[in-house]
Amino acid sequence: MGTKICRVVPNIYSDDIKKSTEFYVDFLAMELVMDLKWVLTFASRENHYAQITILRNDKQGKLNNDAIFLSIEVDDVDALYEKAKSRHIEITYDIKDEDWGVRRFFVKDPNGVTINLLTHIDR
């Protein structure tokens, strides 16, 4: 029998921990569940297994976060889309119903990471 995977937590390096905290707490309404100042973990208030960890970037210069891509399923993608627009958060892919049954849009977090925000469409 193989190993059981209990959760997957993406890790993102940040050049600005404060902006990252504002993005995940204020914009996505996640809870800060661990704060060691150099590493922060945010969790969904409804599902604590849905987590993201932010680590302070101690290297000089910006890290290339283009290879990091996260998908976050939400219950009301349209409301979050309007919230992103009102907060002038960079939207890199406009909201759209996709053929495979999701409604989604992409934003950039303060670290340049692409976040795919989606909800499943009832068919």
Look-up: residue for tokens 């907060």? 87
Would you say residue 4 lies in a domain? no
Give the pLDDT score at 57.
83
pLDDT, one tens digit per residue, over 79-104 is 999 999 999 999 999 999 999 898 99
DSSP bridge pairs for 103: 97, 119
Would you say residue 100 lies in a domain? yes
The enclosing domain of 50 has a CATH number of: 3.10.180.10
Which residues are CB-contacts of 72 (< 8 A; sequence separation ≥ 6)? 28, 50, 115, 116, 117, 118
Which residues are CB-contacts of 56 (< 8 A; sequence separation ≥ 6)? 13, 14, 17, 37, 38, 39
Q: Which domain holds residue 22?
A: 11-58+65-120
pLDDT, one tens digit per residue, over 31-54 is 999 999 999 999 999 998 899 999
DSSP H stretches of helix in the chain: 17-21, 77-86
Query: What band does 22 get if pLDDT is binned at 50, 70 and 90?
Result: very high
pLDDT at 71 over 90: no
Three-state SS for 71? strand
Would you say residue 5 lies in a domain? no
Identify the burial level of 59 via C-beta atoms within 10 angstroms of its C-beta, where 0-12 means exposed, 13-18 middle and 19 or more buried.
exposed
With 0.75 as the threshold, say if the pTM is over it: no
Averaged confidence pLDDT in the chain: 87
